[in-house]
């Protein structure tokens, strides 16, 4: 279904929603974005996503030309304009229109784009069966170059890893950091469960600090489930009892095979199912 797209304060029909070819978001991937879900008319983890995009924009010296409160209103307006209660919202802030040169300071004004639509990342049956994934030969971006905490419009590294997965007949790939520790997947954070303890790489491993990841860690802690942010190696993945991925688009999905090694009994494990139930409840609040 065609949607109405918000660009700099105005809603346009999808076919009329256009940006300049001189926008540095297009020319250089100079910008930041968010993937956000709405459940039953409520923007899920709204503040967390808004805080993250403002932090990322600040890191790359983009001054978003609206307040956080106005941003929240714009997200709700995009839902309303499209008559959506359950949605996947793509929020994009680009450097704006400039010249054919890198200089960001020649760009006049950042552009804000909001697309309220839907997304299906993985086939529904894989939420029952679990995913088979691989570790990628493409390392995660070194945080000293461009910190992956910034959800920038530069996703080529992740796309290379995603292609490797798809070429191998899988939907996701795990990227390791330059130390050889587990960082994250191309569009999701990764968790394992070992002896009843839930573990996920720390932010210092060079990851996007996922809103779903953080919500899950809080859910686990509040429920008295031991949860740790610790460095993981490939060994830990293969030896895990359970594994699952989190992300706004993916929500929470079990991983049952990594690099050909079957985890546990090859089915989504009890802790993964328990956390999925808790996550679903949270989306209904
Ligand atoms: N890592 C990467 C590289 C991602 O693109 C995403 C999806 N935005 C995530 C992790 C998960 O983050 P979130 O839970 O905030 O969607």
pLDDT, position 2: 86
**pLDDT tens sequence across 118-174:** 998 899 999 999 999 999 999 999 999 999 999 999 999 999 999 999 999 999 999
Q: Which of 73, 109, 151, 162 is catalytic?
A: 151
Pocket test for ligand 1, best of 92, 147, 248 (most atoms within 8 A of CB): 248
Ramachandran class of 45: left when φ > 0, alpha when ψ lies in -120 to 50, beta otherwise: left
Last residue of a domain, one of 99, 117, 135: 117
**pLDDT tens sequence across 162-178:** 999 999 999 999 999 99
**pLDDT tens sequence across 75-99:** 999 999 999 999 999 999 999 999 9
- Cα Rg of the chain (Å, integer): 19
Q: Residue 50: which domain range?
A: 4-117
What is the distance in A from the centroid of ligand 1 to the CA of 125? 22
The Cα–Cα gap between 177 and 76 comes to 37
pLDDT, position 182: 98
Shared domain check, 132 and 62: no
Domain with 154 in it: what CATH number?
A: 3.20.10.10
Q: What is the DSSP string of 196-243?
A: TEEEE--GGGT----HHHHHHHHHHHHTT--EEE----HHHHHT-SEE
**pLDDT tens sequence across 46-59:** 999 999 999 999 99
The Cα–Cα gap between 114 and 94 comes to 12
pLDDT, position 285: 87
The reply to whether ligand 1 has any atom less than 6 angstroms from the CB of 56 is no
Domain with 57 in it: what CATH number?
A: 3.30.470.10
pLDDT, position 246: 98
What is the distance in A from the centroid of ligand 1 to the CA of 29? 17
140 CB neighbour count, 10 Å cutoff: 26
Buried b (16+ CB within 10 A) or exposed e, 214-234: bbbbebbeeeebebeeebbeb
Shared domain check, 46 and 177: no
How is residue 57 written in tokens?
A: 């924009």
Last residue of a domain, one of 74, 93, 117: 117
| Closest residue CA from atom 12 of ligand 1 | 210
Tell me if residue 285 is catalytic.
Answer: no
**pLDDT tens sequence across 105-115:** 999 899 999 99
Pocket test for ligand 1, best of 48, 149, 151, 252 (most atoms within 8 A of CB): 151
Give Cα separations from 94 to 19, 40, 77, 285 (angstroms): 10, 29, 20, 32
When pLDDT is cut at 50, 70 and 90, the band that residue 189 belongs to is: very high
Pocket test for ligand 1, best of 217, 247, 251 (most atoms within 8 A of CB): 247
Shared domain check, 111 and 131: no
Last residue of a domain, one of 117, 136, 170: 117
Per the structure, the count of domains in the chain is 2
The reply to whether ligand 1 has any atom less than 6 angstroms from the CB of 208 is yes
Angle CA(202)–CA(253)–CA(87) in degrees, nearest 5? 100
Shared domain check, 130 and 268: yes
């Amino acid at each position: 279904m065609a949607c109405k797209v918000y660009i700099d304060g105005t809603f346009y029909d999808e076919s009329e929603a256009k940006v300049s070819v001189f926008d540095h978001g297009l020319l250089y991937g100079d910008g930041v974005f968010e993937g956000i879900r709405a459940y039953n008319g409520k923007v899920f983890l709204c503040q967390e996503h808004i805080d993250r995009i403002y932090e990322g924009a600040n890191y790359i010296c983009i001054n978003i030309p609206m307040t956080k409160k106005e941003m929240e209103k714009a997200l709700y307006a995009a839902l309303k304009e499209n008559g959506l209660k359950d949605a996947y919202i793509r929020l994009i802030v680009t450097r704006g229109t400039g010249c054919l040169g890198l200089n960001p300071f020649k760009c006049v004004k950042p552009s804000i784009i909001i697309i309220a639509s839907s997304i299906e990342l993985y086939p529904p049956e894989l939420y029952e069966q679990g995913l088979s994934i691989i570790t990628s030969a493409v390392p995660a971006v070194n945080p000293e170059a461009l910190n992956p905490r910034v959800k920038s419009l530069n996703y080529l590294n992740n796309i290379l890893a995603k292609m490797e997965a798809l070429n191998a007949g899988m939907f996701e790939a795990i990227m390791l950091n330059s130390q050889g520790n587990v960082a994250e997947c191309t569009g999701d954070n990764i968790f394992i469960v070992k002896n009843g303890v839930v573990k996920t790489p720390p932010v210092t491993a060079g990851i996007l600090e996922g809103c779903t990841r953080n919500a899950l860690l809080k859910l686990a802690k509040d429920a008295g489930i031991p949860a740790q942010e610790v460095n993981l190696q490939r060994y830990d993945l293969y030896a895990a009892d359970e594994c699952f991925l989190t992300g706004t688009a993916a929500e929470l999905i079990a991983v049952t095979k990594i690099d050909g090694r079957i985890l546990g009994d090859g089915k989504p494990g009890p802790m993964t199912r328990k956390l999925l139930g808790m996550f679903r409840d949270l989306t209904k609040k």
